[in-house]
Amino acid sequence: MDDEIPDLVDIGGSAHPPDVPSDSTPLRKVPITIVTGYLGAGKTTLLNHILTANHGKKIAVILNAEFGNTADIEKALTVSQNNQSSTEWIPLANGCICCSVKDSGVAALESLVERQRDFDYILLETTGVADPGNIAPMFWLDEGLGSSIYLDGIVTVVDAKNILRSLDEPIPNELPASETDKEAPLTPDERHHHQSPLLTTAHLQISHADVIILNKADLISEPDLSDIGSRIFSINSLARLFCTTHSRIDELSGTVLDLNAYSTFPNTHSPHFSLKGHSHLDPTISTLTLPLRAIDPQELPVLQDWLETLLWEAEDRQEGQLRKYEIHRTKGLVLITDGTIRVVQGVRDIFEIIQPPTPGDGTDDGEASKQQGRIVLIGRNLDLVSGAGPIPFTS
């Protein structure tokens, strides 16, 4: 819809939610994990697994109903603790939290938290055809306004049996809204765009994920599973990847819960999957890693400027005729010469450079000193990124 084109918003200066519990903080922000994935991939199975696992948390679960626009729909909210759950109905302004007018979904969740503060985690299952690219900015934009919730991470459940077909042979109504909602005839450039490898919903769900659960491992052979893992890894090398049967993950904290995916840099070492030659590369979306040398604190504005050019130019070109590259997700670990670090977090054109909250060093495993500074980009046609100007601070 025309009126939903997001404005460019620079929230670079805003503070990130503290995830360190503090007695002096009157209202602790409640983390929310978004669980997405194609129809039937195993999202509800994952939520049920989490609800019955022993994590000591009191979790509120919202199962999103069908993709649709029914106004004033109510959602079943299940609150579960120690294997005891109760269900109540909460009103949500719009049928689908992902496609609802920006912020109203977040507002509904905030009012939920304010009315009922006796849970400490929210899990939200999105419909099978949602574009998670809309979700994170929704939470981000709200953050500066003193939100009572924060986005902990996006978990994408992938159906191992069907994922390759979803990536390779999209049927028209599987396309994300941005591809199908166009009413005007295609321009020559758009026609050209449509001849390039198709961007499917599966691509979007994988490219925006912080954690990918490759589920239904029981239905395919080991070698096939390994191939699929490598293909997914080629799309998003930043996400943690787990193979599961019935979405079963033994240790939940740090794997699907408590990720702090928007305030830390992940340890991306993936022992199980690697890019074994070019055969596993995805033609549509890939991950590009730019190594960074340690930079002086005074050089940070240069990095900020470069990221603006990189992310906003790409967006400009998309609005104009020339569609060159597209960046869906940006994460960066910036080592500063004074020994501190910064973390870069971006979704599409919105990004921020943050100094991670103490304690901790900004990485999810507390090992920044052992890591190389780098900017990691996930998107399309990333070989064209250098066209946005010289990349500063490359090591």
Ligand X SMILES: Nc1nc2c(ncn2[C@@H]2O[C@H](COP(=O)(O)OP(=O)(O)OP(=O)(O)O)[C@@H](O)[C@H]2O)c(=O)[nH]1
Residues that bind ligand X (CB under 6 A): 37, 39-45, 128, 157, 215-216, 218-219, 245-247
- Cβ distance to ligand X smaller for residue 42 or 346: 42
Residue 327's φ and ψ, nearest 5 degrees, are: -110, 120
Contact 61, 36 (CB under 8 A): no
Least distance to ligand X, CB of residue 218, Å: 5
- Cβ distance to ligand X smaller for residue 244 or 260: 244
Residue least distant from Zn ion (Cβ): 44
**C-alpha dihedral sign at 237, 238, 239, 241:** positive
Structure tokens at 316: 């400009």
Least distance to ligand X, CB of residue 244, Å: 6
- Cβ distance to ligand X smaller for residue 167 or 290: 167
| Residues in the chain, overall count | 395
Q: How far is CA 323 from CA 60, 176, 179, 187, in A?
A: 41, 17, 14, 12
Q: Which of 32, 33, 34, 43 binds Zn ion (CB under 5 A)?
A: 43
Amino acid sitting at position 180? T
- Region of 41-49, 97-105, 283-291, 379-387 interacting with Zn ion (CB under 5 A): 41-49
- Region of 22-30, 36-44, 110-118, 361-369 interacting with Zn ion (CB under 5 A): 36-44
Q: Which of 6, 14, 18, 44 binds Zn ion (CB under 5 A)?
A: 44
Per CB under 5 A, 65 contacts Zn ion: no
Q: How far is CA 111 from CA 80, 106, 114, 242, 269, in A?
A: 19, 9, 5, 34, 38
Least distance to ligand X, CB of residue 35, Å: 8
- Cβ distance to ligand X smaller for residue 125 or 143: 125
Burial of residue 83 (number of CB atoms within 10 Å: 0-12, 13-18, 19+): exposed
Residue 166 interacts with, from ligand X, Zn ion, none (CB under 5-8 Å by kind):
none
- List of residues 6+ apart from 213 with CB closer than 8 A: 37, 42, 46, 155, 156, 157, 158, 242, 244, 247, 249, 256
Residue 219 interacts with, from Zn ion, ligand X, none (CB under 5-8 Å by kind):
ligand X
Give the whole-angstrom CA distance, residue 86 versus residue 106: 23
Least distance to Zn ion, CB of residue 39, Å: 8
Pairing between β-strand 74-81 and β-strand 350-354 as defined by DSSP bridges: unpaired
Least distance to ligand X, CB of residue 198, Å: 21
- Cβ distance to Zn ion smaller for residue 43 or 280: 43
Least distance to Zn ion, CB of residue 248, Å: 16
Contact residues toward Zn ion (CB under 5 A) are: 43-44
